[in-house]
């Protein structure tokens, strides 16, 4: 795998190419074509490498699937779908299509047919849900690409040609080679940054994802299932794939997403990180109203950055009051802010030994009404393990400082909540703030020590929190360091006396000069 510097240079080059390529097409809309082409290239090369490795086992290490006649390739269709989740005929492979794409007058039709064929290869199999609609955002006839078929095909050909030249690697058996996945996430981050708030809705910065994964996995052995009920592009789940997943190849990833485009991005992201179809289950639905994984619960680790202050049915839907996820608190999150509804949903899905790390909007920590009653329920039942105040301006489209709430059930060893103030642990990165590894390490050190540290951490009993109006704001418990300059009164008085003396002497000189002028 390329070192950090080489990867950074590769990413800069790829972003410049992708940006130059789109011309007048809006970047947020154009992302589907660049990211979709990268995915198309990946699954094409991946299946070729997989077949080559199988043939090497029977003494044919130089077997070239891309040069195999389609009729002969049909013999392994069933095996590939069972093991890889999809099948691609040699004539449909990215590397074969790209050879003639700039001369193909029917490129749009050919691509559309290929994408339908790839998705159809999984129909009636265990991977059908994982493949369905993966290419739906890759619209080959979108007039935004060009006013005529010829112009659209020219741009599509440029995209394919450009993606074919990207140095992304392809060795199937090299588990350290995650250039495809890294590049995909990098491009998503850049498109999200460019799109502002609309992009930030589905993308959690990598350093925050890393911190959530570390919090949820610490002292949490034997994690078998990871869950994110608002999974976006899957960046939180995939932090586990890059850490625990490399030690436990059977780790399973569960997620739910309400936005169809983002749902596709997440599934594609899973494939690009070599998470096999039978190891992930990503569903498209409204998590709060139609949860899709209650039969798969409980989960050992939950990580999530749910939407802030989302409007939902709340009390207007009487069925929700009896929903086993929300009923224990006795009240529902307000209609105008579903933040704590997501929290209750995750608590219900959490195993007794598990840990949930959730990004929250600060208002849920101190507001009154039904939100206070939900906090009271969480505190009285000793579910809140830790609250961490994050720096401001970490997320795309959100300048306000957010926080992390860590929930546990029977895994807690005391009846207290640890409050950590990490608001000053960041470095500037352009117009955003960033958690460097040393900042994450400091937060983890405080989290693991679970004791007071002046200006940074405070361990508070549940009883004291209940008496303090169930307030879970970090600022209510962690003392703020006074960074104002200390004033030495004696020095100030001495300075004043000196100034007065100088003023008196100056006045005497002026009076003398005036007197001399008068004479």
Report yes or no: 262 and 233 within 8 Å, Cβ to Cβ: yes
Please report the sign of the dihedral spanned by the C-alpha atoms of residue 59, residue 64, residue 68, residue 70.
positive
Q: Which of 184-188, 383-387, 515-519 has the lowest mean pLDDT?
A: 515-519
pLDDT of the residue at 175: 40
CB crowding 316-355: b at 16 or more within 10 Å, else e: eeeebeebebbeebebbbbeebbbbbbbbbbbbbbbebbb
pLDDT of the residue at 250: 82
Q: What percent of the chain has pLDDT over 90?
A: 62
Burial class (CB in 10 A: 0-12, 13-18, 19+), 149: middle
Phi and psi at residue 357, to the nearest 5°: -120, 115
pLDDT of the residue at 189: 75
Eight-state DSSP code of residue 323 = -
Strands 350-360 and 403-408: antiparallel
Is the pLDDT at 176 greater than 60? The verdict is no
Residue 225 CB neighbours (<10 A): 21
Average pLDDT of the residues in 480-490: 70
User: Rounded to whole angstroms, how far apart are CA atoms 386 and 380?
Assistant: 14
pLDDT of the residue at 169: 63
pLDDT in tens, 294-326: 999 999 999 999 998 899 999 999 899 999 999
Q: How far is CA 11 from the centre of its chain?
A: 18
Sorting pLDDT into bands at 50, 70 and 90, what band is 454?
very high
Sorting pLDDT into bands at 50, 70 and 90, what band is 221?
confident
Average pLDDT of the residues in 348-359: 96
pLDDT of the residue at 519: 60
Choice between 494 and 205, residue whose per-residue pLDDT is larger: 205
Is the pLDDT at 486 greater than 70? The verdict is no
pLDDT of the residue at 174: 45
User: Rounded to whole angstroms, how far apart are CA atoms 86 and 83?
Assistant: 8
Eight-state DSSP code of residue 392 = S
Average pLDDT of the residues in 432-460: 95
Average pLDDT of the residues in 343-358: 97
Enter the pTM of the model.
0.85
Domains and CATH numbers, the chain: 4-194 (1.20.1260.30), 199-476 (3.40.50.150)
pLDDT in tens, 379-405: 999 999 999 999 998 876 667 889 999
Q: Which of 84-88, 340-344, 446-450, 490-494 has the lowest mean pLDDT?
A: 490-494
Average pLDDT of the residues in 99-122: 96
Q: Which of 10-24, 204-218, 370-384 has the lowest mean pLDDT?
A: 10-24
């Amino acid at each position: 795998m390329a070192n950090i510097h080489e990867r950074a240079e590769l990413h800069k080059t790829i972003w410049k190419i992708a940006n130059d390529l789109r011309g007048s097409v809006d970047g947020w809309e154009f992302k589907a074509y660049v990211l979709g082409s990268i995915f198309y290239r990946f699954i094409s090369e991946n299946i070729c490498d997989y077949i080559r490795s199988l043939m090497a086992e029977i003494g044919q290490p130089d077997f070239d699937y891309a040069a195999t006649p389609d009729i002969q390739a049909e013999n392994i269709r069933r095996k590939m779908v069972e093991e890889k989740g999809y099948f691609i005929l040699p004539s449909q492979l990215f590397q074969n299509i790209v050879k003639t794409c700039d001369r193909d007058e029917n490129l749009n039709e050919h691509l559309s047919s290929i994408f339908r064929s790839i998705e159809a290869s999984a129909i009636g199999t265990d991977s059908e849900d994982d493949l369905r609609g993966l290419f739906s955002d890759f619209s080959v006839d979108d007039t935004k690409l060009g006013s005529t078929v010829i112009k659209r095909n020219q741009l599509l050909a440029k995209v394919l040609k450009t993606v074919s030249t990207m140095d992304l690697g392809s060795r199937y058996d090299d588990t350290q080679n995650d250039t495809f996945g890294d590049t995909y996430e990098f491009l998503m981050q850049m498109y999200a940054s460019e799109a502002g708030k609309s992009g930030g809705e589905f993308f959690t910065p990598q350093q925050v994802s890393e911190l959530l994964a570390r919090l949820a996995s610490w002292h949490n052995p034997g994690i078998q299932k990871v869950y994110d009920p608002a999974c976006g592009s899957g960046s939180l789940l995939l932090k586990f794939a890059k850490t625990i997943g490399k030690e436990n190849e059977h780790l399973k990833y569960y997620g739910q997403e309400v936005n169809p485009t983002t749902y596709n991005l997440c599934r594609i992201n899973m494939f690009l990180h070599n998470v096999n179809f039978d190891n992930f289950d990503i569903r498209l639905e409204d998590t709060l109203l139609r949860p899709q994984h209650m039969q798969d619960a409980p989960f050992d680790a939950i990580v999530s950055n749910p939407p802030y202050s989302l409007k939902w049915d709340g009390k207007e839907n009487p069925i929700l009051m009896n929903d086993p996820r929300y009923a224990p608190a006795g009240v529902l999150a307000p209609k105008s802010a579903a933040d704590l509804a997501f929290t209750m949903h995750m608590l219900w899905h959490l195993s007794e030994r598990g840990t949930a790390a959730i990004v929250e909007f600060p208002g849920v920590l101190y507001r009154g009404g039904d939100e206070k009653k939900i906090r009271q329920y969480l505190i009285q039942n000793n579910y809140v393990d830790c609250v961490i105040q994050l720096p401001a301006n970490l997320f795309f489209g959100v300048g306000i400082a957010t926080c992390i709430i860590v929930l546990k059930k029977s895994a807690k060893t005391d009846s207290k909540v640890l409050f950590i103030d990490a608001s000053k642990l960041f470095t500037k990165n352009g117009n955003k703030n960033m958690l460097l590894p040393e900042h994450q390490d400091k937060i983890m050190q405080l989290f693991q020590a679970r004791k007071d540290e002046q200006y940074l951490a405070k361990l508070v009993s549940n009883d004291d929190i209940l008496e303090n109006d169930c307030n879970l704001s970090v600022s209510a418990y962690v003392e703020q360091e006074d960074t104002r300059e200390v004033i030495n009164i004696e020095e100030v008085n001495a300075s004043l006396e000196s100034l007065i003396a100088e003023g008196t002497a100056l006045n005497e000189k002026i009076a003398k000069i005036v007197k001399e002028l008068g004479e």
